[in-house]
Structure 1
Amino acid sequence: MDLMSEVIRAVRVGVVGSRVIRQSGSRGLRFATFAGSGFHVVLTGTCWLVTADEAPVALEPGDVVLASSGAAHGLSRVPCALEDLPVAEMGQFPPAPGPFDFEFLCGAYRLEHGRAPQYLRALPDLIAVSPDYGRHPELRALVDLLRADVSGTRMGGGAALPAMLDLILVTVLRLWHEQQDTVGWPETDDPAIGAALREIHDDPRRPWTVSQLSAVAGLSRAAFTRRFGTVVGQPPMSYLIGWRLGYGARLLRESDATLATIAREVGYSSEFAFSAAFRREYGVSPSRFRRTPAAALLSEVAGTR
């Protein structure tokens, strides 16, 4: 079961953004906590990754920082305390003109409602990766493409940006996963849990119970519940609810199906039941989630920072 692909599908319901930032002098920028996931790629110069609780980490050109679940952090020309850095202004702005000491490329999925997927929340808050671009030239190509795209106003940018962010996030997660030798990432090759996950993903409308899923996995209910929690990071029913609502969010954004149809498609007996569960998870009604354009949501997010 390819859980990494499900991570990407889950964050796609958020608002995507990307920009190039240039900094000069000894200062840097602080990025406040946000709901979602993002990354930075150091393009030119050297800098330090600064967090609230850990020692600063030196970064070289080509290094990538992944904020897996939107934790607060900073990038600075010199080591410093996180609170000493000015807060970055959110939004899609052109890079500052003039000379600079370091330059980095940012990409983010901002979930205006809800949280980053459980898999990303299970990772360390901030991950620094030093890719071997000789072995992984595809990452260099992706970074160059994204940099060129956000630096201009080329046609099709709105469609290209989410695809490029998807590919960079997947590539960075793969590299980190390889470097960690599977430590810290759910073991998605567990055949029993994989079988249960496939059933959930393929047929979310079915009224699944833990007993039914444990039978699919070929395990006792107790053994299945324990193993599912270890592999996935949350109980089976919590995962099922999250998957249904995430799938519902994608249908709201990507289709014109009625709320009643979507409710049935994701396993809820009525539009009311789906709406109540959706509001608990995302903090907004399905109707508002659907009718608010992504560009407006991005403006709202930028205006609150």
Structure 2
Amino acid sequence: MDVISEAVEGLRIGRAYGRRIEAPGGRVGRSTGFVGVGFHVVLGGQGWLISEDQPPVRVGKGDVVLAPHGAPHGFWPSPDALHTLPIMAMGPVPPPDGPDGLDFICGAYRLDTGGTLHPYLRSLPPVLTVTPDPVLSALVQVLAADMTQHRPGAEVTRPALVDLTLIHVLRIWHDTTGGKPWQALGDPVIAAALHLIHERPQDPWTVERLSRTAGLSRTAFTRRFTARVGTPPMAYVISSRLTRGARMLRETDAPLATIASRVGYATEFAFSGAFRREFGMAPGRFRQSRG
């Protein structure tokens, strides 16, 4: 199971955003928390990355910051407490006023219309930094140019570039941390169960059936799965099915009954009810919102 691919594909049910920010004196401010993933790449200047639970980190040109589950964070000229920073202004701002200005690009996937972040992303630190390799540096140059020039086709290029950048940041983090797998994939029993859930979403999975496949009792399997994945087995199954269904609604014109069958629901009515509980809207309305 390629967990990075699974995690990023799940984000595609949301919206990709990207912009370039030039903050005079490095006074960027703080972003409030959101459901999704965000990253920043410092193009010039320097400042302090400030988060809620970690010590401030000095950042400068070339540094990449990732908020894998949308935790609040901010940038400021001095290592102040996060709650003292003003909310980040998202409107036009003047360019940096000299070497202390901070010039950076932001990219994000926001799940504003509902959905659940993959547990792998939630298992990562709230805010982390990586040093780009040549591939990521090249991607950043293209992304920065795309955000700066506002050329036709941006609605297609922006999500693709945010995708590529995010995937490469996660790859670098994985390699930097010694290539350790997600805790769930490090357990062969749970990894096998996850593989089945993703490869055969249409199967009538129950805790009983999954635990039997794993060779464990229901109680032992549920406890072990929840500890490794971070969510109970059936909650994971439902989230995985609905995420896959949401992607099909976004990316295809398949009939609702076909989508329901492919993601493990006996009828389109059962799928619609579960989808509405997860996303707060009917599948048809969600599909229309893709435009």
- TM-score of the superposed pair, with normalisation by structure 1: 0.86
* C-alpha deviation, 1:170, in angstroms: 1.7
CA shift in 2, pair 1:189/1:122, >3 Å: closer
Cα deviation per residue 1:88-144 (whole Å; 9 max; x = unaligned)?
244xx6774463511111000011123322221222211122x1x4xx211101111
CA distance in 2, matches of 1:167, 1:26: 27
CA distance in 1, matches of 2:184, 2:168: 18
Equivalent in the alignment of 1:122: 123
Equivalent in the alignment of 1:71: 71
CA distance in 2, matches of 1:220, 1:179: 37
* C-alpha deviation, 1:267, in angstroms: 1.1
Equivalent residue of 2:264, what SS?
coil
List runs of 5+ in structure 1 lacking aligned partners.
295-305
Equivalent in the alignment of 1:31: 31
CA distance in 2, matches of 1:24, 1:89: 12
Matched, 1:266 2:263: yes
Letter in 1 for 2:65: V
CA shift in 2, pair 1:26/1:207, >3 Å: closer
Equivalent residue of 1:50, what SS?
strand
* C-alpha deviation, 1:233, in angstroms: 2.2
Matches within 5 A, 1:292-303: 292-293=289-290
* C-alpha deviation, 1:180, in angstroms: 2.6
* C-alpha deviation, 1:211, in angstroms: 2.9
Equivalent residue of 2:143, what SS?
helix
Equivalent in the alignment of 1:302: none
What is the aligned length?
Answer: 288
Matches within 5 A, 1:18-167: 18-25=18-25, 27-90=27-90, 96-97=94-95, 99-100=97-98, 101-112=101-112, 113-129=114-130, 131=131, 133=132, 136-167=133-164
Equivalent residue of 1:75, what SS?
strand
Equivalent residue of 2:149, what SS?
coil
* C-alpha deviation, 1:181, in angstroms: 2.9
Equivalent in the alignment of 2:237: 240
- TM-score of the superposed pair, with normalisation by structure 2: 0.89
List runs of 5+ in structure 2 lacking aligned partners.
none
CA distance in 2, matches of 1:215, 1:199: 13
* C-alpha deviation, 1:219, in angstroms: 4.3
CA distance in 2, matches of 1:163, 1:78: 34
CA distance in 1, matches of 2:93, 2:149: 11
Percent identity at matched positions?
A: 50
